[in-house]
Structures are given as C-alpha cells and as structure tokens.
Amino acid sequence: MKKNYIYLMVLIIILCSAPLRAQDDQQLEKEIEELLAGAKSSEEIKRPAPSSTGRYFQSLNPDISVIVDTFYQRDDSKEGIAHIFEETEGFGHSCTAGHHHGPDEGFNMNHLELYFSANADPYFKGWGVAAVTEEGAEMEEAVIQTTALPHGLQLKFGKFFSDFGRINPQHAHSWDFSDQPLIYRLTLGTHGLNDKGIQASWLMPTDFYLLAGLEAFQGNNEVMFNHIGGDHLSDKSGPRIFVGWLKLAPNLANVNHAIQFGTFFSRGVHQEEHDGNTDGTYDHWLTGHSKFGGFDFVYKFDDLRAYGVGDITVQGEYFQRRKDLTVENHDLNTALIGRDKIEKQDGYYLQTTYGFLPRWRVGVRWDRIGMINDIDLPPGTSSSPDGSDQLALMVDWTLSEFSRLRFQYTDGDYETEEGKEDVSRIFLQLQISLGTHGAHKF
C-alpha cells in the first residue's frame, strides 16, 4: 500500500510542475481517482497496454535495403557460354520451361534486389525480396516465419530458397565468386531451388549444433523439377518437390575455428517436352521423377585481425542426381510410348578464400561434373560421355560493408555434343548495398 501512494505522489508532483489547461485539470482528476481506486484493490498499478494505433506504427518500421549488382563479362567461345551449358553432355537439353540465357558479352546486371524485413509481432517475422531486371520485376522471396514455437521448432511459409547445402540458400550477392559452381548451374539452373512451399525445422536439444529440416514445394524449378501438364502430359497436383536436410556443427576447443557438415536429399515430379525433328514444334513428351542427394561442408578460421586479415574459408558440395522418365506421348514414333529414359550424373566443387590484406581476399574454386554420366535412351541405346571441369580464380576488395569490387578469371574444359570446348571467361563485378540488410548465415 505504501508503494502505491508513493507512485501517486510522484505523479501529482510531475503533473503539477507544468502549466495546465482546463482539459488537463479534468484529465488529472480522472487519473487521480483511477489511481486511488486501483490502490485499494491492488498492490501494484499496472502500466496501460499500448494502443492498437501504437502497435500498428511500430510494425511499420521494416529494414529496407537495395542491392545493385553489375558486372562486365567476356569469354572466348564461338557461340557464348550459355550455348556451351545448353550443349554440355548429360546436362544440356532438359527442355523444361523457364530457361534463362547466359550473360551478354560486355556489360550486364544480375538484377536490382529490393529487400524488406520486419518482426510482425511476438509470433511471426517476415521478409520479401523483389528482383528487378530490365524486363520487369520478379518475386524472389516472400516469407512468413514463426519466432515463438517451443522446443526448437520453426515453420516457414511462402516463396523461398531451399536451405539445403551451402550455395542454394544464398542470394547471388552473397556468393564468394561471380558465378555459380557448375553442378548448381547445370542441375538446378540460375535461380537454384527457389519455389513456393513450406518448411519445418528443428534445432535439436544437443550439446552441439544439430538442425534438421523438411520442405515441400509446389514444383516449378527451371531445370530439374518441372510440371508442364496440358494436353500431352498428365497433370500432377502440388506439392511436387520434397526436400530433407541435416546440418551438424561440432564444438571445437579453439574458438578461432568452426566447421559445419550437411547432408540432403530431394525428390520431385519432372516432365519434359522435345522437338525430335527440329521443325520448331514439340513432338514427344516424357514424365516421371527426378531426385538428388549429397553432402556439403564448410570450415572457417577467424584470425581475429581487423578487416578479415588472415581469415580462411574452405567449403565444398557434392551432388548426385537421377532422372527416371517415361515417354507418355510421341507423335513421330508411337512405339516408344511407355519406354523409359534414365539419366544419372554427379558433380562437386571445392573452394577456398583467404584474406591477405585488410579488406582484400583471394579465392580459388575447382569444379568437376560428370564422373558419373550415364544416359539410357528409350530406343534401348545408352551412352556415358566424359565429364567437364573448370577452374576459377578471383580477387575482391571490400571497400566497406556496403561495397565490393571483384575480378575473376575462369578457364573451363567442357564436354559438349560438338566435342571438347576450352573456354576462358573474365568477370569484373561491382556491388553496392543501400540501407539495412539482415545478417547472412554462417
């Protein structure tokens, strides 16, 4: 009771220390009456809950950022690097919807990335990413994520990047190199596995970091998982892609070192349409399933010197994919209807970066695809073409936390339908970030 009267006296002194208007006097009398009434029934006077208007304006304070990513690119191939990738043995001619051509010779823009994020309330947060190009805008991510589920559980809804592996969850401006590793570019396309769906993850109650996740997506990947449907192919209702992954990070005695391992598996619907006589009209259609699995790792050494001097990162990923398809319709050869087409390929990359001066890094990446490269065609024939590889060297200068300049040289030896192609490429890339952007993952 004494505490309540002390609060009352303090309030009276504060209010009386300033000039009061008539309505202020009335408001003061009302507040004194409410305080006295509350003091009789409670030992504490509760603070009023914030108004709905106050909560509304608090929620309209998102983090907003803009990423501008521009680069100059040149290669010495005859028909361009996009043609090389389309003709790569075992990986080209997937003939699904949504292909993106490669970069032009000369000046290019990856895209203008607009990023918005905020906590909606104690239970949810959200973010959205719009990728703006010269052709228009595309919704890259639109996510609702829970923040208050018990026992290490978390749900994610909307359109987002699958969290498997190392490269796939990252936006292009977060890559350590100017382009994707070959296994990503040729297996999942320029956007990776990015789709509408739901994710459930569980941070297990262990003494070390152990995170498991399950994802279900609608199924609209540009290369490996695709649904065409229509008059010639059966319609498949979504979700059409399922992904599972596990990430483990043991506790290391030395705080300068950190390492994380991961494994993943995915299976989904895949459909293709082809033009067998190259007259410009699709004439046979295949349907079935694709799946891939593999593992990844990353090791980081923090030298504890300023601006990344002495810091080392080593990471790598291995994929193995398989497509099991059946000819559903064929206008040119009906005898092939019901026959199977099976493709099996694999690949990996291994990369490292090193901070050799304040804000300066050097990096090297080795890519290899097609150690397994088996193709069984519907007529009963098969082939096992050679694989392809490339070596990338880069140096970048992070002028500040908001800008980065990078030079990269890549030399590749690609096995194509027209024979071996040795192609060299150079990149000169400039990125800037405007505004507040969320922290990147480990």
Q: Is residue 190 part of a domain?
A: yes
Q: Is residue 118 part of a domain?
A: no
Q: Is residue 416 part of a domain?
A: yes
**Residue 144 and residue 33 in one domain:** no
**Residue 8 and residue 102 in one domain:** no
Q: Is residue 130 part of a domain?
A: no
pLDDT for residue 147: 96
Number of domains comprising the chain: 2
Residue 220 and residue 201: Cα distance in Å, rounded?
A: 22
**Residue 36 and residue 151 in one domain:** no
pLDDT for residue 37: 53
**Residue 23 and residue 94 in one domain:** no
pLDDT for residue 279: 87
The per-residue pLDDT string of the chain (442 residues; one tens digit each, 9 = 90 and over) reads 444 444 444 444 444 444 444 444 455 456 545 544 554 444 443 444 444 444 444 456 788 999 999 999 999 988 888 889 989 998 876 544 444 456 778 898 888 999 999 999 999 999 999 998 888 888 999 999 999 999 999 999 999 999 999 999 999 999 999 999 999 999 999 889 999 999 999 999 999 999 999 999 999 887 889 889 888 898 999 899 999 999 999 999 898 999 999 999 999 999 999 998 888 899 999 999 999 999 999 999 999 999 999 999 999 999 999 999 999 999 999 999 999 999 999 999 999 999 999 999 999 999 999 999 999 998 889 999 999 999 999 999 999 999 999 999 999 999 998 889 999 999 999 999 998 776 667 6
Q: What is the CATH number of the domain that holds 211?
A: 2.40.160
Structural domain range at position 246: 73-107+140-435
**Residue 79 and residue 28 in one domain:** no
**Residue 37 and residue 94 in one domain:** no
pLDDT for residue 93: 61
**Residue 33 and residue 163 in one domain:** no
**Residue 34 and residue 153 in one domain:** no
pLDDT for residue 278: 83
**Residue 31 and residue 92 in one domain:** no
Q: Is residue 252 part of a domain?
A: yes
**Residue 386 and residue 330 in one domain:** yes
**Residue 167 and residue 227 in one domain:** yes
Question: Which pTM was predicted?
Answer: 0.83
Smallest CA-to-CA distance from 298 within 397, 176, 190, 204 is with: 176
**Residue 77 and residue 209 in one domain:** yes
The one-letter amino acid code at 335 reads A
